[in-house]
Amino acid sequence: MRSIRSFRADAGGVRVEPALPEAIASSPVPAAVLLPDRTIAEPSCGLTRLTGFSRNELLGMPLFSLLEKGRAHPEAGRAGSWLLTKDGGRVPVTAYIPEGPRIALAAFLPLEGEMALAVELKAARERLAARERYIEDFRTGVFRMITDLDRSESELKGALERLGETRMQLVQSSKMTALGELAAGLAHEVSQPLTVIKGLSLGTLRSLPQDSPSYEKLHLIAEAARRMESIVRHLRAFTRSEPPAMKPVNLNSVARDSFLMLREMLRSHSIETSIELAEVPSISGDPNRLEQVIINLVTNAKDAMPKGGALKISTGTVDAQGKKYARLTVEDTGEGVPAELIGRIFDPFVTTKEAGKGTGLGLSIAGGIIKEHRGEIKVESERGRGTAFTVTIPSA
């Protein structure tokens, strides 16, 4: 084995101080003095501790046999590599290996601490990224929560407004119920004097000759009393709260009876009325409840014509799928129904009237009654041109 001293004569005039091998041998830094052929001439005690090889084992050992794959990749005089240990392990190092065929000093910087630091740094970066994602998610969640709160506040405000409107409608409905009860009581009270007037006028008529000057006047009184008695009878029947009593019904008769109570109301509101009753098949129904449908539809039409207008009621027969249906149509020349309400016009509390002027229950009740009769009610409307409600009920 050649030593540095024995190599001195072949070093081409290179001088190596005798103190250098002793200084390297005692150094705790992993290093080695290399001969020109890159064999180890003197290892440091730091290199023996790092690799586990003894000094004698390292003397004369090719340096690259200590490096994984027998080589390093120099870059600016250094290279990253793995230094092999005696027990078969390996240690990450940065190797400083001078180039050229001359005596040189190789040094190794263990990277275990740096790798641990790199691992810790990577973990810290991942924790930071996770924290940033958490903060971003939290911020997004907070913004979403604020948005949801704003929307909920708006919805709550709208619900409170609708609740207030519903309360007013219910109060109005309660008033209408009380008014109906009052009308029923009034009709009962009026029926007795009407009976007296009718009876006296008819009795007096029978005792007078037809050419008597008073006969025509008494006849008018008796006829008016009869009409009033019929109106009161229908009013009492209409205000009674009873389960539906289905029986054969002629829709034309129901329409005529309804107008005993409606004709004067329509005239007082400057509404011209035309009634066209065609032949209709008999249906199974409750006359009182069907009258309520007609009254609700006509009243709704009257409210849609505050300055007057024209109302037309017609009946007829519809043939569909081999079956006959009785048809009733109520048409007005009023303001029409807004397009956004057409699909909900039969829902409870949906109304086109101003607050306090309608309960929004009339059409809902009418739709429910027609369903009880296995029928169908449809609406066609055009803003400013009027509205038409068509009821069809299957024949009995």
The reported pLDDT for the residue numbered 122 is: 83
Cα separation values, 65 from 35, 83, 142, 231, Å: 15, 9, 62, 124
Identity of the highest mean pLDDT range in 111-115, 298-302, 359-363, 388-392: 388-392
Selected residue with higher pLDDT from 212 and 86: 86
Question: What's the CA gap between 338 and 326, in Å, rounded?
Answer: 28
Task: With cut-offs at 50, 70 and 90, classify the pLDDT of residue 388.
Answer: very high
The reported pLDDT for the residue numbered 76 is: 35
The reported pLDDT for the residue numbered 6 is: 44
* pLDDT tens column, 198-218: 777 777 877 888 778 777 777
Token representation of residue 26:
């005692």
Only one residue has tokens 């956004």, namely 340
Q: What is the mean pLDDT of residues 5-14?
A: 41
Residue 178: pLDDT over 70: no
Least confident range from 52-66, 67-81, 84-98: namely 67-81
Selected residue with higher pLDDT from 40 and 15: 40
Closest CA to 317 of 306, 307, 329: 329
Q: What's the whole-model pTM score?
A: 0.46
Q: What is the mean pLDDT of residues 379-387?
A: 88
Residue 241: pLDDT over 60: no
In order of start, what are the domains of the chain with their CATH numbers? Answer: 4-110 (3.30.450.20), 112-241 (1.10.287.130), 245-394 (3.30.565.10)
Locate all alpha helices (DSSP H) within the chain, ordered by sequence. 4-7, 19-25, 45-51, 55-58, 112-207, 215-239, 251-268, 287-303, 339-342, 362-372
Task: With cut-offs at 50, 70 and 90, classify the pLDDT of residue 3.
Answer: very low
DSSP 44-84: -HHHHHHH---HHHHTT-BGGGSBGGG----BTTEEEEEEE
Which run of H or E residues covers position 319?
strand 309-320
Rounded to 10°, the helix 287-303/251-268 angle is 30
Sheet holding 376-382, edge to edge: 271-276, 309-320, 323-332, 386-394, 376-382
Average pLDDT, the chain: 79
Kindly give the pairing relationship between strand 247-249 and strand 104-110: unpaired
Burial 286-324 (b: 16+ CB within 10 A, else e): bbbbbbbbbbbbbebbbbbbeeebebbbbbbebeeeeeb
Token representation of residue 191:
């029926």
The reported pLDDT for the residue numbered 78 is: 47
The reported pLDDT for the residue numbered 171 is: 60
* pLDDT tens column, 327-354: 999 999 998 888 888 877 877 656 655 5
